[in-house]
Structure 1
Amino acid sequence: MASELNINISIDVLEPNELTDQERKAMDLAQQAASDAYAPYSNFLVGAALVLEDGTMFKGSNQENAAYPSGLCAERTALFAFSAHHPNEKIKLLAVTARRREDASFLPAMPCGACRQVMAEYEHKQGEVIPVLLQGPDGNFYRFKSVADLLPFQFNRESL
């Protein structure tokens, strides 16, 4: 007989004044990174920022290419740059935002499936949760306690 599995995810919906100083700085850096995006085809500018355990911050922006599969999302750009420079550090926060080139206001930006998988790999590698802060609607923000909340069924080294 079939059974049912329910997954409950708790997401904090925050107003701008409810962000911690660290979250505000990370989101500001993510917004700056979005402005640096190379997105001549989609005109959809995405920025990501990482906060490491020592307070160092890394940013990444989406990088498009005329050969579409050759581009890279902001989240993976930030994560791969971080890993190349600080392979043994731990990530304490990941912030993501986006905007259309012609608009000044930022939009909700949910990481794609490939980015969620890469984020999950880094969370698994460090053995600690990585909180994720995403731009939400109406100027609010979504705080996820863990990457696992964005990708509850993960493929990882135990899957091999």
Structure 2
Amino acid sequence: MKKITISTEFNVFESLDQLPEEIKILMEEAIAIRKKAYAPYSKFRVGAAILLDNGKTVLGSNQENAAYPSGLCAERVAIFQAGAIYPEAKILKLAISATSDAKPVTSPIPPCGSCRQSIAEYEFKQNTPIEIYFMGESGEIYKSDSLTNLLPLVFDKNFL
């Protein structure tokens, strides 16, 4: 038997004001779109904003459904829309903001497992990393240089 160690590294920004201007604008778009989330069941609202290499921004908010598995997270709404509308564009940056109608969310909220796998597919497809910034409704913002920091043992087409 042998042991492996996997480590990840994130940059932490104390507030929106510490972000580079381009990222601050992207995160503000994620915050704005999260207010349009359809979240009548969980009361947990998430917004995602994607910056593409063609300069376009694509937005998404979570969309719930009474049949829970039928809903989609904000990250997947945005990433699938980007893939459908701009199939040749590379995703450079993804900003995510989450809040709850029930309680304050001041910790950074990362993408769920399904979203991580979906982001991984696009990172693999374009063969370049996607910067991911995530936060709650306020407080610190975490930056990951690649999805592989969030999903180090990624499953991709090489296994098929």
Q: Which runs of 4+ in 1 moved over 4 A?
A: 102-107
**What are structure 1's unaligned runs of at least 5 residues?**
none
Q: Secondary structure at the match of 2:39?
A: coil
CA distance in 1, matches of 2:25, 2:7: 29
CA distance in 1, matches of 2:99, 2:7: 29
Give a deviation string over 1:36-85, Cα, whole Å, max 9, x none. Answer: 10000111001111001122111100000011111000000000111110
CA distance in 2, matches of 1:55, 1:123: 18
User: Paired residue for 1:31?
Assistant: 31
**What are structure 2's unaligned runs of at least 5 residues?**
none
User: Does 134-143 or 31-40 show the bigger shift?
Assistant: 134-143
CA RMSD of aligned residues (A): 1.7
Is 2:62 the counterpart of 1:62? yes
Q: TM-score, normalised by structure 1?
A: 0.93
User: Paired residue for 2:6?
Assistant: 7
Alignment of structure 1 residues 45-60 onto 2, 5 Å? 45-60=45-60
Deviation at 1:3, TM superposition (A): 1.0
Q: Secondary structure at the match of 1:132?
A: strand
Q: Secondary structure at the match of 1:139?
A: coil
CA distance in 2, matches of 1:102, 1:57: 30
Is 2:91 the counterpart of 1:83? no
Question: What is the percent sequence identity of the aligned residues?
Answer: 43
CA distance in 1, matches of 2:138, 2:96: 15
Alignment of structure 1 residues 76-155 onto 2, 5 Å? 76-101=76-101, 107-135=107-135, 139-155=139-155
User: Does 133-142 or 25-34 show the bigger shift?
Assistant: 133-142
Deviation at 1:138, TM superposition (A): 6.2
Q: Is the 8 A contact 2:98 2:137 kept in 1?
A: no
- Structure 2 counterpart of 1:29, which letter? E
Deviation at 1:18, TM superposition (A): 2.2
Q: TM-score, normalised by structure 2?
A: 0.93
